[in-house]
Structure 1
């Protein structure tokens, strides 16, 4: 193993440990983009991009406002390399020179140059079970990202996707457990207040949720806070 490969392997292992140690999904995303800047040669800025069903974009984590502005522009215009990568599900994309991308993205190209972007490199974040979004890397200089950058970025993105998915699953599980406990408390309060069995108390909560068009968890929160079904 060469010295460079050894150093990268150590850095990748340290990244994996760091991501696994984060306490929230948001913290995990923020550490992913920070590691991208540190590990991928030529990368000045990085961001995580999500595509919603209405085709709007969200940037939950970014290393600078430059990344957010680029993503905002692509969302407004409905075009751009990050947007296309998510829509077309391109596992990897590389734009060597933003100045040459006008033909494919005629409105985004000039705006990207105005922002000071030179080149871009991106990777889908996905596991076998789901697509999670995209990791996008930026440089203010053209012709910076190489095949080596792609390999390093792909390895980073592959590790990051698994740890991001794990963080999301854990967060969803914690939310589900918390919701179940909250509803249980609300059912207990309702049973005591109205002298009804558990199934009837739960039906009261569900009916209130449906009639007011609010989530059952919100109903439970109000009951546990006020003690009233109001």
Structure 2
């Protein structure tokens, strides 16, 4: 390597030419910086939209089998799910923009207006009201209204979760309605995955009668990718299942169906679990698969939500399963949205790193062009060749050059790389001339 020789005369540039070249490089860098800044703004705006709490709430609302409405602070409907459409006998798209007062009998409307006012100033308001379906008699429903703010727009919204009070409709249980309403209000964009799962576990305990503890596991319970519980007792029984490799959570994940146990200490399906379960206060369990979305059935089970009770047979009735299924479906939608946000954040972070590297490379191209006395395009080829020769990443080589533009030890190395580039081009031109001569003869 000719590391100590002066720049060859044939590669030298006149002062005027060099000044003009540097001016062009500076302008190109300015344009590149503007493009990078614009791209970064687009990424930030996209991320802000994607973590919008209302988008996450919409995913939950659409998935649950109980009627849910979203209104503005005055009671104007902005969103309705399929269950609400079925309750009122009106297509969901046509429910939008209607005042919620139009869905109740005239004599009830003053009370509904009072509910709207109260919900706007409180966290959650509950009541029992009559509604007027388009086709059918009046029905009485329980309503839980949760107030919130539409992120990014400073706009108040109200989430209405409704349940029929007839005995057949166990989803009308106030605990279930309140848990689903609380899911729609969770600040998904502000919580880590573990924090969100812990909140979901706590709400599951509130949603299912007979439950005292709950946990959420993502992935195979034998080798979970993430797990969270609302109590030490749930952690202990989960840990026992992980150690022995059997139990309701393991079976629910494997088979993709809800699994109930009247008494974990005596359940013949999991004999290895009997002894460790006897060291806890847990007796009964109900495990439900948490399903992913937009995937094939073979890969649909993403994790398991399990509630535990201190009494044998705590979840024997069908109403317990129905309540748990309502909540598990809503939780699945919430966790799917969390995945989407995490993926977007990772993409935005990778793009940011790539753009920073690009800016550094653009700066290095200008420096190398000035050091070697070549075009910006040739400077990039020089950096690329040197990166390959020295087995150093291009962005790292560029960062080395930009870190200290006054350093001179890189110049001879770059000059040598440029010489090799020119030699290779000369050889290619010579081969082309030979091939041209051969083809003409």
TM-score bracket for this pair, using the shorter chain length: 0.7 to 0.9
Structure showing greater radius of gyration is 2
Q: Please give the alpha-carbon distance, in whole angstroms, between the structure 2 residues aligned to 1:227 and 1:172.
A: 32
Compute the displacement of 1:185 (Å). 0.3
1:52, 1:12 → 2: CA distance? Answer: 26
Residue 305 of structure 2 corresponds to residue 135 of structure 1: yes
Match of 2:210 in 1: 42
Q: How does 1:67-106 map to 2 (within 5 A)?
A: 67-89=234-256, 91-101=257-267, 103-106=268-271
TM-score calculated relative to the size of structure 2 = 0.42
Q: Contact 1:126–1:161 (CA<8 Å) still a contact in 2?
A: yes
Q: Given that residues 19 and 32 in structure 1 are in contact (C-alpha distance below 8 angstroms), is that contact kept between their aligned partners in structure 2? A: no
Deviations for 1:46-99, whole angstroms, at most 9, x for unmatched residues? 00113349x42355210112222222222221212211221222x211101123
- TM-score calculated relative to the size of structure 1: 0.77
Residue 215 of structure 1 is matched in structure 2 by none
Matched, 1:29 2:197: yes
**Number of residues of Structure 1 aligned to a counterpart in Structure 2:** 210
Shift in Å, 1:159 = 0.5
2: distance between equivalents of 1:181 and 1:84? Answer: 42
Q: Which moved more, 1:162-171 or 1:186-195?
A: 186-195
Which secondary structure state, in structure 1, belongs to the residue aligned with residue 186 of structure 2? helix
Aligned runs of 1:152-171 on 2, under 5 Å? 152-171=323-342
Is contact 2:214–2:229 with CA below 8 Å preserved after alignment?
yes
Give the unaligned 5+ runs of structure 2: 1-163, 295-299, 369-378, 405-441
Deviations 1:117-162 (A, max 9, x none): 1100011111442432010111122111132111011000001101
Q: 1:13 to 1:114 in 2, by over 3 A?
A: closer
Q: Match of 2:431? A: none
